[in-house]
Amino acid sequence: MKFFVDENIPLSCVKFLTSSGYTVFDVRNSTNEGLEDRDLFILAQKENALFVTTDKDFFHTIPRSVGNHFGIIVIALRQPNHTAITEKLIWAINNFDLSNMRNKVILLRDMGYSVMD
């Protein structure tokens, strides 16, 4: 499985994913750093990757403007920090069938989640 992490995802998530055997695309320190949200998402789709972000636009707006995609996980916490974000990502990996995420968006909050098909 491939993950494409937004710039707002902590490096602790990247380290967890790579150590768990996943392929991870991270735009930090690349020529793609700072791309507009829509362009970044399109880049992730070219890699056939599940997109991970803390940006709520990826729950409401971006998927509708792009169409088919390989899935999105949005982590929206009141007081985000690298530990809490990493814990939510691990929880999602353990509780969802991520191999079946095509055109689905998961919004993870402090006390629950929503799934949009």
Q: Write down the domain spans for the chain.
A: 2-116
C-alpha 42/C-alpha 36 separation (Å) is: 10
Digit-by-digit pLDDT tens for the chain (117 residues) are 999 999 999 999 999 999 999 999 998 888 888 888 889 989 999 999 999 999 988 787 766 777 789 999 999 999 999 999 999 999 999 999 999 999 999 999 999 999 988
Task: DSSP letter for 85, please.
Answer: H
Q: pTM of the predicted model, to two decimals? A: 0.93
Q: Any long-range contacts for 36-39 (C-beta under 8 Å, 24+ apart)?
A: 37/62, 38/62, 38/65, 38/66
